[in-house]
Amino acid sequence: MKNPGAAEGRRLVGLLEAALVREARLWKVTVFKNGCIQGTDISSSQHQDMILWLGEMSRLFQFCPETFALGVCILNRLLSTVKAQPKYLKCIAFTSLVLAAKINEEDEVIGSVKDLVVQSRCNFSTAEILRMERIILDKLHWDLYTATPVDFIHIFHALLVSSHPHLILSIGLGSDISWGSTAALWTRQVQHCMACHQLWQFKGSTLALAIITLELEALTPDWFSVFTDLLKKAQVDSAEFIHCKEMVDEYLHSLEFSLPANAVYIFNSTQIQEEEPVWSPTQHLSQTRRGQGAGEQGDSDEYYDGFRCLYSEETSPGAEGGHVEGLFDSQQTDVSPCPPLHPAVN
């Protein structure tokens, strides 16, 4: 009788290899030069703010993490392909998320494009989103799906369960978290890292492996043998992996300690808002890291002709205007993971 565990392991390895092939074919590094995406006037801070905003929109629409990750990948692939202007960045980002949802989400979750635009409270029309869809599809040759960091998190997690079942027992006995919750934890961490433009120099497979390795170091003494097995399967360059791991560790560590270390606060319950806080990179961080113990929308005839200025080489004077001018009317602000607090008074 064949070993069902071995068959499952081979299937997962096949999924990983297919994902790596697709990643190698479609992934393109986002190059930043003089603080901006090369060939554009989009700054790294604008790029990061837009990814954080996509996280808010994904949460608002109740999309799955895979949809958010694919939306970010589509956005970055387009920004690496065309010379986009900052005033179109929000429309590009929103449309990238809509396209990702059409791939990953059920129809009843997505609804109509018009409904999504109304919920987002953006100042562009449905017709503009539909036209931007065609621009993105054309520039990316209708090949939108690529393996994202979230996809690799799920594949690596399944490989660990299949190939290293002893981890489930050791982590269950020696940690305050269950093995079943680790995939959700790693997914949240990789979403945080996707908002860091410095980490976009690394492929999604490398980023996912770095996050998992950092957690394994804190969860089990057998982490090195497990890590070497995953590194070999993922075909990741060791030097690149070490560099990525160091940067991920520094970035996640900075998020954990983003609040003043020695400040004393008094909780004021009267300022708690009824609605939930928006998605931010400091929400839901793990407590098991090493330092802590383990309007009415336009119709199709309302297309905005200014989209011909999406690419800088097609820019012409007087082309600015229309709904797209309001793309940055609302600025993203950082949201603390804690409720409103007041400094203690003597």
Q: State whether residue 49 is helix, strand or coil.
A: helix
Residue 35 has a pLDDT of 80
Kindly state the average pLDDT of the residues 298-313. 38
Q: Which of 44-48, 108-112, 134-138, 178-182 has the highest mean pLDDT?
A: 134-138
Q: Are 165 and 6 in contact (CB under 8 A)?
A: no
Residue 170 has a pLDDT of 59
Question: What DSSP designation does 184 have?
Answer: H
- Give the E-state strand segments of 228-331 in sequence order: 265-267
Query: Could you please report the per-residue DSSP string of 103-139?
Result: HHS-HHHH--HHHHHHHHT-SS-HHHHHHHHHHHHHH
Give Cα separations from 72 to 11, 57, 145, 298, 326 (angstroms): 28, 12, 11, 26, 22
Phi, psi of 135, rounded to the nearest 5 degrees = -65, -45
The pLDDT of residue 133 is above 90: yes
Q: Are 243 and 207 in contact (CB under 8 A)?
A: no
For 5-61, write each residue's pLDDT tens digit: 678 778 888 899 999 999 998 888 777 778 888 778 888 889 999 999 999 999 999
- The amino acid present at 229, given as its one-letter code, is D
Phi, psi of 336, rounded to the nearest 5 degrees = -75, 145
d(CA 218, CA 214): 7
Does the domain at 29-139 match CATH 1.10.472.10? Answer given as yes
d(CA 139, CA 142): 8
Residue spans per domain, the chain:
29-139, 149-256
For 218-263, write each residue's pLDDT tens digit: 877 777 878 888 888 888 888 999 999 999 999 998 887 554 444 4
The pLDDT of residue 2 is above 90: no
